[in-house]
């Protein structure tokens, strides 16, 4: 009798967008009170975009540009959470389940602590996983890149074969 074997893969993702005065700043679908927001083809949600790339990378399914090309009108102004929902299906269709997500947002303004529970809840809901599997950490650039929103993410996916 064969024992079940669990296979795990990890992936890394990164995204950055330039911020300008007067545009909305959205992270994980949360509109944040911020003086500047990203210039982007979509909603510029760097956290969702980094997590999408981490998940796609873990499953060796390419990257966000392959699945959601920024020259395709279908994806113009698409919310980051929608990309996560599509990625959830791509991962599941390839036979993987999501183990966990860890991430770091680098942003000078605003402070993310008051919004963190909601950010994590929305990511977990879009991916269909428990919020305990999602970690988001916040850093500032110490004023070095005040006009950038950046996110780094890693993801683990797993599947069990008999």
Residues forming beta bridges with residue 7, ordered by sequence position? 159
Select from 41-49, 90-98, 100-108, 128-136 the region that touches Mg ion (CB under 5 A). Answer: 41-49
Residue number with CB closer to Mg ion (15 or 108): 15
Least separation in angstroms between residue 149's CB and Mg ion is: 9
Task: Look up residue 144 and give its DSSP letter.
Answer: S
Residue number with CB closer to Mg ion (36 or 49): 49
**Where does residue 142 fall: left (phi above 0), alpha (psi -120 to 50 degrees), or beta otherwise?**
left
The side-by-side arrangement of strands in the sheet containing 134-139 is 36-38, 5-21, 148-161, 97-106, 134-139
Least separation in angstroms between residue 93's CB and Mg ion is: 23
Least separation in angstroms between residue 39's CB and Mg ion is: 10
Those residues with Cβ within 8 angstroms of residue 138's Cβ, 6 or more apart along the chain or in another chain? 104, 105, 107, 111, 112, 113, 116
> Does 15 help bind Mg ion (rule: CB under 5 A)?
yes
For residues 84 and 72, give the distance between their C-alpha atoms in angstroms, rounded to a whole number.
Answer: 17
Residue number with CB closer to Mg ion (17 or 115): 17
Task: Pick the binder of Mg ion from 11, 13, 26, 49 (CB under 5 A).
Answer: 49
Select from 5-13, 49-57, 81-89, 97-105 the region that touches Mg ion (CB under 5 A). Answer: 49-57
Residue entry with tokens 């599509």: 86
Task: Please check whether residue 26 is in contact with residue 48, taking contact to mean a CB–CB distance below 8 angstroms.
Answer: no
Least separation in angstroms between residue 40's CB and Mg ion is: 6
Enumerate binding residues for Mg ion (CB under 5 A). 15, 49
């Amino acid at each position: 009798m064969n024992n079940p074997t669990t296979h795990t893969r990890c992936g890394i993702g990164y995204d950055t967008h330039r911020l300008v005065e007067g545009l909305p700043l959205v992270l994980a679908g949360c509109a944040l009170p911020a003086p500047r927001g990203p210039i982007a083809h979509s909603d510029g949600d760097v956290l969702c975009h980094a997590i999408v790339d981490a998940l796609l990378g873990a499953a060796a399914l390419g990257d966000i540009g392959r699945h959601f090309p920024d020259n395709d009108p279908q994806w113009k102004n698409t919310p980051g959470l929608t990309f996560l929902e599509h990625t959830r299906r791509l991962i599941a269709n390839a036979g993987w389940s999501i183990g966990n997500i860890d991430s770091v947002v680098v942003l000078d303004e605003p402070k993310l602590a008051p919004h963190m529970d909601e950010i994590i809840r929305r990511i977990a809901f879009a991916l269909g996983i428990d919020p305990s599997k999602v970690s988001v950490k916040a850093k500032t650039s110490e004023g070095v890149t005040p006009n950038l929103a950046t996110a780094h993410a890693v993801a683990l996916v797993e599947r069990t074969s008999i």
